Amino acid sequence: MDEQNLEEGTEAARLRRARRGDEAAFEAIYRDHVRAIHALALRLTGNPAAAEDIAQETFLRMFGFLSGLRDDTPLRPWLKRVAANLAIDRLRREHRHAGDDALSVSVDADSAPATVAEASGLLRRLPPLARTLVWLHEMEGWSHEELARRFGRSPSWSKSILSRSLARLREHLDQGASDEHL
Amino acid sequence: MNTSDGLRHALEELHDPPAPEALWPRLRARRRRQLRSRRAIMALASTGLAAALFVVLVRPGTVPAPAIVTRAPSMHASSADDMDARVRAIDRALQAAYDRGASDTEIAPMWEARHALLAGNDTPRGHATDINDI
């Protein structure tokens, strides 16, 4: 592959082509990132239909904002940030009348203790707010200040909910681990 | 490995599930609709802008040329009609004066008035010096 072909295959080149309306470039960008974006949306919402909507909206926003994106903008973090913001907005909209406690600490009592291998299931059993805070802080690297700003709360609110949620998760993991050794 | 590490490790190890295949066709269709409506809005905005510019720049009364074209003929027609009416009135007075055998001193001012009236008009009739030429 010569230098020009290498350059044509880069994200910056695809962005430039997409900006000119090249649909193949749109699709290439989409294919590169859709799995990660859809997975993030699914982990934050726990709802396949909501995850699809969020993934779709994220790419539509990217397509609509192409002229504002610099060629050297790393797309993955940008897309993840948009998807996370959409998930948070949705969560706030859907649960605006629910209290923080109801959203953050009531891990499903009926579910069986989880093992590490069942982390995905454990995550799904977390209530929406707790799941979102845990994933964004632990896996996506959001700071408490960023979480607080996005949720319109204080950093101590974020720390408190995260701390309780992680404690519950560890309890379930410990329980699951001891059950495995029996 | 403690539980905290175990939790993080477990979360890191999670595989991303594949995105639904139907997502791209849906996204592409919405993108196309979005582009179409954006183009329609742009076309509408351009038409609106052109209409607004037309109204501002070419509306009657702001440009002399069309105003002259539309107003001059009516003014001309109006003043010509008026002139004809006045000339006819003088002619009737002259005819009556001749009919009753009026003196030249009585008739002369009428002719002067007629000449003065016609001198202000640029029509060929303005050069007529005889009542029969009118």
**Looking at residue B94, what is its pLDDT?**
78
C-beta atoms of B3 and A119 within 8 A = no
> Which of A62-66, A176-180, B94-98 shows the lowest per-residue confidence on average (mean pLDDT)?
A176-180
- Name the DSSP letter for residue B21: T
List CB contacts (< 8 A) between B33 and chain A. Answer: none
- Of the candidates A52, A135, A173, the beta carbon closest to that of B23 is on A52
- Please report which confidence band the pLDDT of residue B77 belongs to, taking 50, 70 and 90 as the band edges: low
> How far from chain centre, in Å, is Cα B85?
33
Find the mean pLDDT for residues B3-18: 78
| pLDDT 10s digits, A106-141 | 444 444 444 444 566 777 778 889 999 999 999 999
Chain A positions in Cβ-Cβ contact with residue B27 (cut-off 8 Å): 30, 56, 59-60
Please write the tens of the pLDDT for every residue from B44-69.
Answer: 888 888 777 777 766 655 555 554 44
- CA B25 to chain A, closest CA, distance in angstroms equals 10
Average pLDDT rounded to a whole number, residues A32-48: 94
Q: Which two tokens stand for residue B5?
A: 């590490």
Q: Are residues B80 and B128 in the same domain?
A: yes
How far is the C-alpha of A102 from the C-alpha of A104, rounded, in Å?
A: 6
The domain locations on chain A are: 1-94, 98-182
Residues B70 and B53 in one domain: no
Question: How many structural domains does chain B have?
Answer: 2
Q: Between these two residues, A71 and B79, which has the higher pLDDT value?
A: A71
- Percent of chain A at pLDDT > 70 equals 78
The domain in which residue B42 lies consists of: 20-59
| Residue contact A173–B26, C-beta within 8 A | no
**Per-residue confidence band for A142, with pLDDT thresholds at 50, 70 and 90:** very high
Same structural domain, B50 and B68: no
Domain A98-182 CATH (choose: 3.30.70, 1.10.10, 1.20.120, 1.10.3720): 1.10.10
Is the reported ipTM for this assembly greater than 0.85? no
State mean pLDDT over A24-44.
Answer: 95
Same domain, B101 and B40: no
CB contact under 8 A, B3 and A30: no
Name which CATH class applies to A1-94.
mainly alpha
DSSP letters for chain A: --HHHHHHTSHHHHHHHHHTT-HHHHHHHHHHHHHHHHHHHHHHH--HHHHHHHHHHHHHHHHHTGGGS-TT--HHHHHHHHHHHHHHHHHHHHTTTS-HHHHHT---TTSPPPPGGGHHHHHHHS-HHHHHHHHHHHTS---HHHHHHHHTS-HHHHHHHHHHHHHHHHHHHHHHHHHHH-
Q: Which of A107, A14, A15, A93 is nearest to A54 (CA)?
A: A93
| B13 falls within a domain | no
Cross-chain Cβ contact A30/B18 below 8 Å: no
At residue B65, what is the residue type?
A
Whether pLDDT at B81 is above 90: no
- The residue of B5, B11, B42 whose CB has the most chain A CBs within 10 angstroms, and thus the best one to mutate to test that interface, is B11
Q: Are B75 and B117 within one domain?
A: yes
pLDDT of residue B92: 82
Residue of A27, A35, A138 lying closest to B19 (CB–CB): A35
- Same domain for B46 and B102? no
Q: Are residues B72 and B53 in the same domain?
A: no
